[in-house]
Amino acid sequence: KAADKVEKLKWDKAATTAGLLDKVKAAADDKISAALNQKDKQTRVQAVEAVKKEVAESFAADLPDNAKEIKNILGDLEYNAMRSQVLTTKKRVDGRASNEVRPISIDSGLLPRAHGSSLFTRGQTQALVAVTLGTANDVQRLDTIDSPSETTKSFMLHYNFPPFSTGEVRPMRGTSRREIGHGNLAERALQGVLPDFADFPYTLRIVSEILESNGSSSMASVCGGSLAMMDAGVPIRGAVAGVAMGLIKEGKKYAILTDILGTEDHLGDMDFKVAGTATGITSIQMDIKIEGLDLQIMKEALAQAKEGRLHILAEMNKALAAPREELSAYAPRIVTMMINPEKIGDLIGPKGKTIRGIQDETGAELSVDDTGLVTIAAVGGEAMQRARQMVQAITAEPEIGATYEGTVKTTTAFGAFVEIMPGTEGLVHISELKWGRTDKTEDVVNKGDRVTVKLLDRDERGRLRLSIKALQERPEGMPEEEARPPRPEGDRPPREDRPRSGGGGGRSRR
Query: Is the same domain home to 26 and 122?
Result: no
Same domain, 71 and 163: no
Q: Quick check: is 506 in a domain? A: no
User: Torsion angle, CA of 437/441/446/447, rounded to 10 degrees?
Assistant: 140
d(CA 74, CA 55): 9
- Print pLDDT tens along the chain (510 aa): 566 677 777 777 777 787 899 999 999 999 999 999 988 999 999 999 999 999 999 998 888 888 999 999 999 999 999 999 999 999 999 999 999 999 999 999 999 999 999 999 999 999 999 999 998 889 999 988 887 788 899 999 999 999 999 989 988 888 999 999 999 999 999 999 999 988 898 999 999 999 999 999 999 999 999 999 999 999 999 999 999 999 999 999 999 999 999 999 999 999 999 999 999 999 999 999 998 999 999 999 999 999 999 999 999 999 999 999 999 989 999 988 999 898 899 899 999 999 999 999 999 999 898 999 998 999 888 899 999 989 988 887 788 888 988 999 999 999 999 988 777 889 999 998 988 888 899 988 999 999 999 999 988 888 899 998 889 888 877 766 544 444 444 444 444 444 444 444 444 443
Based on the fold, state whether residues 347 and 411 are members of the same structural domain: no
Q: Is residue 263 part of a domain?
A: yes
> In this structure, is residue 326 part of a structural domain?
no
Regarding whether 246 and 120 lie in a shared domain, the answer is yes
Contact 447, 398 (CB under 8 A): no
Q: Tell me the pLDDT of the chain averaged across its residues.
A: 89
- 478: in domain: no
Domain boundary pick from 319, 343, 365: 319
Cβ count near 237 (within 10 Å) = 11
Q: Are residues 266 and 379 in the same domain?
A: no
Give yes or no: residues 158 and 283 share one domain: yes
Instruction: Please give the single-letter amino acid code of residue 287.
Output: D
Closest CA to 228 of 249, 246, 204: 204
If one counts the domains in the chain, the total is: 4
Q: ∠ CA 280-90-101 to the nearest 5 degrees?
A: 35
Do 279 and 339 lie in one domain? The reply is: no
Sign (positive or negative) of CA dihedral 304, 309, 312, 317: negative
Same domain, 270 and 154: yes
Query: Closest by alpha carbon to 195, among 234, 137, 147?
Result: 234
Of 62, 89, 116, which marks where a domain is finished?
89
CATH code of residue 36? 1.10.10.400
- Quick one: 446 exposed, middle or buried, by C-beta within 10 A (0-12, 13-18, 19+)? exposed
Let me know whether 364 and 434 are in one domain.
no
CATH at 342:
3.30.1370.10
Q: Are 450 and 405 in contact (CB under 8 A)?
A: yes
391 and 415 assigned to the same domain: no
- Residue 91: Cβ within 10 Å count: 13
pLDDT digits (tens, 9 = 90+) for 347-358: 999 999 999 999
Q: What is the pLDDT of residues 419-462, one digit of tens each?
A: 887 778 899 999 989 888 888 999 889 999 999 999 999 888 88
Q: Is the dihedral of CA 53, 58, 64, 68 positive or negative?
A: negative
Kindly state whether residue 6 falls inside one of the protein's structural domains: no
- Same structural domain, 164 and 228: yes
Q: How many residues does the chain have?
A: 510
**341 lies in which domain range?**
333-395
